[in-house]
Copies of this chain bind each other. A is one copy, B any other.
Amino acid sequence: MTVRLLLADDEHLIRGALAALLSLEEDLVVVAEAASGPEALAMARAHEPDVAVLDLQMPGADGVKVATSLRAELPGCRVLIVTSHGRPGHLKRALEAGVRGFVPKTVSAQKLAEIIRTVHAGNRYVDPELAADAISAGDSPLTAREAEVLELAADGAPVAEIAERAALSQGTVRNYLSSAVSKLGAENRHTAVRLARERGWV
């Protein structure tokens, strides 16, 4: 029984190479390729693959977003996310979106082929190291508002702008930022943003 694959990655070099390598496995066949989120969705609709191998970062819509849509439209299609930069939060988001596998690009093609089979068989696979990171990072201590405000502060916007965009008073924004900063053990909002990013809490 062959497994029909959809490959989505914006880096042509990698996608092509991957397609070539996976095709060497006689039980795997690449039926579609895509270079962006929306394209991946379209290809999935057209070809209804058994397993979708998605890069986490793609133009248009990232792997997790695509996975969410896919879950609704093609429940039979298992999703496997492949990523370069394994941030704990992404893993959590991905699992919540119904993704069946999550691996870093540091695995070998051999291993990836095995994982594709595992996922296709209905099992889950999460890279052990990423899983350990995710667990040690734990859950976000931030409340919804704190996270929201921190997010808006991410690109260095002044408090006034954040307040406007969040429809809050400036004082409230400062309070949230302050508590977020202290919860994260940061020195100021900017390092707080960085920390939250690293742990995938924003």
Contacts and interface: CB of A to CB of B under 8 A. Distances in A.
A108 to B, nearest CB: 5
Contact of A13 (B18, B24, B35, B188): B18
Interface residues of A, number: 33
Contact of A108 (B12, B82, B186, B188): B12
Contacts of A62: none
Given A188-B158, A190-B190, A191-B156, A14 B17 contact: yes
A194 interface: yes
Interface in A10-56: 10-14, 16-18, 20-21, 24, 35
A107 to B, nearest CB: 6
A109 B11 CA distance: 11
B155 A194 contact: yes
Nearest to A109: B16
Contacts of A155: 190-191, 194
A106 B16 contact: no
Contacts of A21: 16-17, 20-21
A65 to B, nearest CB: 20
Interface of A: 10-14, 16-18, 20-21, 24, 35, 82, 84, 104-109, 112, 155-158, 186-191, 193-194
8 contacts: A11-B105, A11-B106, A17-B21, A20-B109, A155-B190, A156-B186, A156-B191, A156-B193
